[in-house]
């Protein structure tokens, strides 16, 4: 596994022109297809074969799990879904003969969480069902918090209070591992925001506070700034071997 930590943002795409052309074509196709789906309905419809589909991001799970401190006893997982990052952590714990931590997950898609429980009946895992913007996360409870491929669905304004809550939920010295899809340039951010606006407006059933599934990647330096505004003292960028994806390591 090749990973590297940087203080400055590393390039995210090997061929920027092709990536922007592909993203533009994808958005055009999706706008023709119609309204954005509500978040948990989107994932529930795709529960069959979900883990196999997500294995295209396999290195993200291994890299994120490898950064969870070996002495972590209490772990928070935001948007845990079927728990692919927990599967990766389980492999590491078995290999290194160390205990699997107590885990509190938060997710809003019951069908995926059912799969997580079925995979790990022997572990101390509790998933709070609901939105991580609202579910109480506690105060100074966790040694480490992780989130993989979930928070990119939201705006920076929505992330600030969430990151503050994650900061409060961590013990002093704790770390937040935010592994996600990030934009390679400002043009990609704008295209994706426009995509979200158009297809959210097509969904006439979604309430003002409802979430739709449309990717809204941000520049990782903007996300790092929000993490710092939330209180984190240092944020590192870690490459994970998947184009367009980084692990942000935020230290309390
Ligand atoms: C792409 S999946 C990633 C799941 C898992 N971390 C993984 O990488 O396999 C995104 C997950 O985030 C959850 N999610 C999205 N928005 C959420 C929110 N506001 N609160 C809680 N969970 C949310 C979805 O239900 C879904 O399980």
- How many angstroms separate the alpha carbon of residue 1 from the centre of ligand 1? 25
Q: For the chain, list the domains and their CATH numbers.
A: 5-251 (3.40.50.150)
Ligand 1 pocket: which residues have CB below 6 Å? 39-40, 43, 54, 79-82, 84-85, 106-109, 112, 131-133, 148-150, 153, 211
- How many angstroms separate the alpha carbon of residue 204 from the centre of ligand 1? 23
**Closest ligand 1 atom to Cα of 61:** 8
3-class secondary structure per residue, the chain:
CCCCEECCCCCCCCCHHHHHHHHHHHHHHHHHHCCCCEHHHHHHHCCCCHHHHHHHHHHHHHHHHHCCCCCCCEEEEECCCCCHHHHHHHHHHHHCCCCCCEEEEEECCHHHHHHHHHHCCCCCEEEEECCCCCCCCCCCCEEEEEEECCHHHCCHHHHHHHHHHHHHHEEEEEEEEEEEECCCCHHHHHHHHHHHHHHHHHCCCCCCCCCECCCCCCCHHHHHHHHHHCCCCEEEEEECCCCCEEEEEEEC
What pLDDT does residue 7 have? 72
Among candidates 144, 154, 209, which has minimal Cα distance to 181? 154
Backbone angles phi, psi at 100, to 5 degrees: -80, 135
Residue nearest to atom 19 of ligand 1 (CA): 131
What pLDDT does residue 8 have? 78
Burial of 13 (0-12, 13-18, 19+ CB in 10 A): middle
Task: List average pLDDT for each run of 10 residues in the chain, which is 252 residues long.
Answer: 64 93 97 97 97 95 97 98 98 97 98 98 98 98 98 98 98 98 96 98 94 97 96 94 95 98
Q: Which of 63, 107, 206, 215 to mutate to test the pocket of ligand 1 (most atoms within 8 A of CB)?
A: 107
Q: Which of 78, 79, 207 to mutate to test the pocket of ligand 1 (most atoms within 8 A of CB)?
A: 79
Vertex 99 angle, CA 115 and 177, to 5°: 65
The model carries a pTM of 0.96
Question: Do strands 102-107 and 234-239 pair parallel, antiparallel, or not at all (unpaired)?
Answer: unpaired
């Amino acid at each position: 596994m090749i990973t590297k930590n940087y203080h400055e943002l590393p390039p995210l795409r090997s061929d920027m022109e092709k990536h922007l052309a592909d993203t533009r074509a994808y958005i055009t196709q999706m706008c023709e297809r119609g309204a954005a789906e509500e978040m948990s309905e989107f994932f529930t419809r795709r529960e069959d074969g979900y883990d196999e589909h997500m294995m295209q991001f396999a290195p993200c799970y291994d890299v994120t799990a490898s950064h969870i401190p070996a002495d972590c006893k209490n772990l928070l997982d935001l948007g845990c879904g079927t728990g692919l990052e927990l599967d990766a952590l389980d492999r590491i714990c078995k290999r290194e003969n160390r205990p699997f931590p107590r885990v509190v997950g938060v997710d809003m898609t019951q069908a995926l969480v059912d799969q997580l429980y079925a995979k790990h009946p022997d572990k101390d895992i509790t998933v709070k069902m609901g939105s991580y913007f609202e579910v109480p996360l506690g105060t100074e409870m966790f040694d480490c918090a992780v989130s993989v491929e979930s928070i990119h669905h939201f705006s920076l304004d929505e992330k600030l209070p969430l990151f503050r809550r994650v900061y409060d939920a961590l013990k002093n010295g704790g770390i937040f591992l935010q592994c996600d899809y990030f934009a390679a340039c400002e043009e990609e951010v704008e295209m994706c925001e426009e995509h979200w606006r158009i297809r959210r407006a097509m969904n006439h059933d979604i309430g003002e506070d409802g979430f739709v599934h449309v990717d809204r990647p941000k520049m990782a330096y903007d996300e790092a700034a929000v993490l710092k505004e939330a209180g984190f003292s240092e944020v590192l960028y870690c490459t994970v071997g998947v184009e367009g994806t980084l692990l942000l390591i935020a230290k309390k």
